[in-house]
Chain A
């Protein structure tokens, strides 16, 4: 392998950008495919699938064998609001492989006692997200109900292209939220991406059940990345 190619690949991985190293197993030649690159030819479909699933594997096409080694950034889940739902969500998300961070400026909520061993920031989202920016491999769930805390983070998540953006609240609450976000400059297409009411519809009632519904929706969003854009283009 060309050392420059390895350096490029590692740079992508450090920057939390998805990339696939495609190695021709017959002649040893390798190239780097970044997410969003236009791929033509027999392995195009396999490349798209690999970005979605994160599964590496060997592909045979037109008599040649290629190995697709997929490097996806680890997904992370940022929760705005150190509330009862978040207390249930924190351990669940960790187990499912979506490490979670909680941001809530209200110190009475965001206390280490309520959230032992959780990555917790008792600060305003504006301040935390400036130093720890959101990206396409981050999910954001806003669950405070408080526009002063939620709105900035929701807008930031839409602008960063977070793979999931969810917001707690009834349809009525959400309609008002949509107006506020549009006043902040969010497009109709952007606000259309917000999952609200939050969570898959499993009839969740308790905070813990709502946490399950949110986590399931985050997983669904992660595993179907790219599918909606494809459907839109067709």
Chain B
């Protein structure tokens, strides 16, 4: 990579989302919109998911990605965005678990 662009397009979730959409895949974008405590990924981090459950990027250190991917399928089908919350105070969170003890809010929306 030269010093010019510095967008790592192979791994950049938003570039991948655009490319997937261009290939005709159905795509959802998940974004960390709020964090409390020691959240593993900062606000603005993205996970992009297609209808088959392929995903790129991250919204946590790998703790909640599985749950987000599951929700993304519904969002892709319905077209309705969803706000997800993960954290130690939440019963679901114990199951999917943010082991760091932080809390995050993730916005999931369909592309297109």
The chain A residues found within 8 Å of chain B, CB to CB, are 1-3, 6-7, 9-10, 13-14, 16, 23, 25, 28, 55-58, 67, 69-70, 73-74, 76, 99, 101, 119, 132
Question: Quick check: B111 and A9 within 8 Å, CB to CB?
Answer: no
CB contact between B83 and one of A7, A10, A25, A99 (< 8 Å): that residue: A25
Q: Which residues of chain B come closer than 8 Å to A55, judged between CB atoms? A: 42-43
A16 CA / B6 CA spacing, docked (Å): 9
A1 CA / B109 CA spacing, docked (Å): 7
Question: Chain B at the A interface: mostly helix, strand, loop or mixed?
Answer: mixed
Question: Quick check: A58 and B43 within 8 Å, CB to CB?
Answer: yes
Known interface pairs A2-B112, A6-B18, A28-B109. Does A132 touch B4 (Cβ–Cβ under 8 Å)?
A: yes
B58 adjacent to chain A (CB < 8 Å): no
A56 CA / B104 CA spacing, docked (Å): 14
Question: Quick check: B44 and A70 within 8 Å, CB to CB?
Answer: yes
Q: Which residues of chain A come closer than 8 Å to B5, judged between CB atoms? A: 14, 16
B10 adjacent to chain A (CB < 8 Å): no
CB contact between A57 and one of B14, B18, B43, B112 (< 8 Å): that residue: B43
CB nearest to B83 among chain A residues:
A25
- Listed by A's residue number, 28 A-B pairs whose Cβ atoms lie within 8 Å are A2-B112, A3-B21, A3-B112, A6-B14, A6-B17, A6-B18, A6-B21, A6-B111, A9-B14, A10-B14, A13-B14, A14-B5, A23-B31, A25-B83, A25-B107, A56-B42, A57-B34, A58-B43, A67-B33, A69-B43, A74-B6, A76-B3, A99-B3, A99-B6, A119-B3, A132-B2, A132-B3, A132-B4
A74 CA / B110 CA spacing, docked (Å): 28
The chain B residues found within 8 Å of chain A, CB to CB, are 2-7, 14-15, 17-18, 21, 29, 31, 33-34, 42-44, 81, 83, 105, 107, 109-112
Question: Quick check: A67 and B6 within 8 Å, CB to CB?
Answer: no
Instruction: Tell me how many residue pairs across A and B have CB atoms closer than 8 Å.
Output: 67
Question: Quick check: A25 and B33 within 8 Å, CB to CB?
Answer: yes
Question: Quick check: B107 and A23 within 8 Å, CB to CB?
Answer: yes
Known interface pairs A16-B5, A25-B33. Does A3 touch B18 (Cβ–Cβ under 8 Å)?
A: yes
Question: Quick check: B18 and A69 within 8 Å, CB to CB?
Answer: no
Q: Which residues of chain A come closer than 8 Å to B107, judged between CB atoms? A: 23, 25, 67
Question: Quick check: A56 and B43 within 8 Å, CB to CB?
Answer: yes
Question: Quick check: A58 and B17 within 8 Å, CB to CB?
Answer: no
Question: Quick check: A101 and B29 within 8 Å, CB to CB?
Answer: no
Besides A14-B5, A56-B43, A132-B3, 9 other A-B contacts (C-beta < 8 A): A6-B21, A6-B29, A16-B5, A25-B107, A57-B34, A58-B34, A67-B33, A67-B43, A69-B31
CB nearest to A16 among chain B residues:
B5
CB nearest to A138 among chain B residues:
B3
Q: Which residues of chain A come closer than 8 Å to B34, judged between CB atoms? A: 57-58
Least CB distance, A217 to chain B, in whole angstroms: 21
